[in-house]
Chains A and B, each alone.
Chain A
Amino acid sequence: GENVEQHPSTLSVQEGDSAVIKCTYSDSASNYFPWYKQELGKRPQLIIDIRSNVGEKKDQRIAVTLNKTAKHFSLHITETQPEDSAVYFCAATLYNFNKFYFGSGTKLNVKP
């Protein structure tokens, strides 16, 4: 199956700073890359996703970039706020298949 690696495992930033989380994947056939946010004690929720036919996608303070050649994609959060503190997971899968393989997660701590 797909192997997804995620870095860093923990990230601490000051409120207002930017945060970047990076993931790499192994299967060049993967073409759908979602990012999930999991707050403590809660279920993971989708925050943004990108398909392989685009290189970048933005949604307010959140953006995702994809480099198909290098097989890596990144999550960018600008103007971080304390409520952004959570664990973030990247995932990869085939567009026509729902089997998601998740990265190891990044615990983001935004200090007020």
Chain B
Amino acid sequence: GAVVSQHPSWVICKSGTSVKIECRSLDFQATTMFWYRQFPKQSLMLMATSNEGSKATYEQGVEKDKFLINHASLTLSTLTVTSAHPEDSSFYICSASQELGFAGELFFGEGSRLTVL
């Protein structure tokens, strides 16, 4: 299957700082990537859809100024948590599909665990 890589796998930062998480599709081009947030023992909550060359579309309730998404190339999407606070601490996971135009297997990155002190 396709490989999606995420970096860093874990990060600790001070409150008020910004943190950038990268998501790369290693062996395929992904015009669309998805960012999820997963709280402990909870489900994958869709945050936003990252579109190559255009603005990301955010799910209801997700602050776009807080979670900046940039999809600069067909293999890279980044999520920047700006002015992070302890409540932003969570597991962030990206995903992508090889399919264009129809639903297919979603490949997930390893996830990034963010801890804000």
Contacts and interface: CB of A to CB of B under 8 A. Distances in A.
Contacts of B105: 34, 46, 49
Interface of A: 1, 6, 32, 34, 36, 42-46, 49, 89, 93-105, 107
Interface in B79-107: 93, 95, 97, 99, 101-106
A100 B34 contact: yes
B42 A99 contact: no
A36 B108 CA distance: 10
Given A89-B44, A93-B103, A99 B49 contact: yes
Interface in B36-78: 36, 41-46, 49, 59-60
Contacts of B34: 98-100
B108 A96 contact: no
Contacts of B60: 1
A98 B99 contact: yes
A5 B109 CA distance: 24
Contacts of A98: 32, 34, 97, 99, 103-104, 106
Complex A-B, nearest 7 residue pairs according to Cβ-Cβ distance, in ascending order = A43-B108, A32-B103, A102-B44, A104-B43, A46-B105, A98-B97, A96-B102
B43 A103 contact: yes
Contacts of A103: 43
B43 A94 contact: no
B43 A46 contact: no
Contacts of A93: 103
Contacts of A44: 44, 93, 108
A93 B101 CA distance: 13
A107 B15 CA distance: 33
